[in-house]
Amino acid sequence: MIIIDFNDLLDNYNTNLLDNLRGFGSNEEYLKFYVPGTSSIKSFFNLIDALVEAHKFEFLIFYEKNLFNQSEVDEINIFLGEISLNKKILKDESIMLEIKIDKKLHQNFIENKKIKIKKANLNKTNQNKIKFKDKIIVFKSKKKIEQPYLNNMHKIKTNDYLLKTIDEKKNIFFGKIEGFQIKFLIENRIITKASHDCKNNKDLRKLLDIFFDICSNKNIQEAADHSTIYLEEKIRLENNNQLIKLGIILPSHAGTYFDSLNFIIKQIFYEYSKKNAIKFEINKNYTKKSYQWINLNENLKIKKIELILKQIIEKYNLNNQSIVVQSIDNNFKVNLEVDKDFKILQKKKNILLELEIKLKKLEETLEVFVGEVLDKNKLRLKNSPQTKLLN
């Protein structure tokens, strides 16, 4: 049975939650679906939804007595009474809830909730008008490609997809951008081939080639969900010397071409799903480890990683033993040991994030983990990869 300290989960969401998501531990699968709400009670309801989404139906949640007021406690009791068998246990200053979700009751609850929300929205339609000042204005570029992206993308080496032959007809799906035709061959949900006829527009041709490289050999659902996000990020991060913004940026910030590609790939996903009568579930397509990396000898893997560690050591004038590779687990988890000097430096500057970015150029799936320091003082790695080493 999963046991969850709800107070700890809320306190540590912004610092160490990702430690539990890094490729191991089936009990933590629910965390992939969990996002806290704007209040403790909304966070509680979101947690229940995340557990059910991860097919975890029996669990124990405990929290401090003063976390919820009486009205919130009553609301939780009503909610749990409608979807589960549950038992409350009082222990010192904590409350423990043993919960067993009834799948049928939970499904009925969700359906009834949707109906209530739909009715409420219909009732409000003619009662409330959105004031202009209440509207959220989202920036959208009016340029086809913003200049910084235009500068960067021609530096990227790609495969050439111009008029690439695709013989299969049954599973070809089409789109159009600026009057040019693009084609995708999708076999068993995977984009296996792509082609375009964009001869006369140098910038769009380059953008399409980069986009097709990103989409190739990906599940069509994953391509529909994330390919234009990856496209924007890949081009934006190409120039390491310029001031860059990290994180996810909407494709519309980069130019109208990005929005067009986003629409096309989502439309193709819809057409593929409809044509093949496929109902896709939650997208769980993750980046796969490369064949070359998996089949590389363990010692060679470590040597390649050590070459990157050497760059970090020389850049920050560290001792050769300041950061050492201990092992590589599951072909992606790079376990490191660091000394006091590294720990002190890490507090001032996020060296581990810098290191992980460099390692991903070696193999995209690599991730950095830190255990104990060499002097045996214990460190805790929080909020990977945006890591902080704390006492």
Contact 381, 334 (CB under 8 A): no
- Residues 282-297: what's their mean pLDDT? 71
Domain boundaries defined on the chain: 2-108, 147-275, 291-390
Q: How many residues does the chain have?
A: 391
The pLDDT confidence band at residue 214, using thresholds 50, 70 and 90, is very high
Nearest residue to 221 (alpha-carbon basis) of 290, 275, 284, 276: 284
152-195 residue pLDDT tens:
999 999 999 999 888 877 899 999 999 999 999 999 999 999 99
pLDDT for residue 130 is more than 60 = no
The pLDDT confidence band at residue 260, using thresholds 50, 70 and 90, is very high
Express as a percent the part of the chain with pLDDT over 90.
Answer: 33
Range with lowest mean pLDDT among 225-229, 363-367, 387-391 = 387-391
Query: Cα separations (Å) of 75 from 9, 20, 52, 68, 204?
Result: 21, 30, 19, 10, 55
User: Among the CATH numbers 2.40.50, 2.60.40, 3.40.1350, 3.90.1010, which is that of 147-275?
Assistant: 3.90.1010
Higher pLDDT, 259 or 251: 259
The pLDDT confidence band at residue 16, using thresholds 50, 70 and 90, is very low
pLDDT at site 387: 38
Rounded CA-CA distance 28/50 in Å is: 11
Q: Which residues pair with 87 in a beta bridge?
A: 98
CATH class in words for 2-108: alpha beta
Rounded CA-CA distance 368/387 in Å is: 10
pLDDT at site 158: 94
The pLDDT confidence band at residue 23, using thresholds 50, 70 and 90, is very low
337-385 residue pLDDT tens:
888 888 888 888 888 888 888 888 888 888 888 864 444 333 333 444 4
pLDDT for residue 290 is more than 80 = no
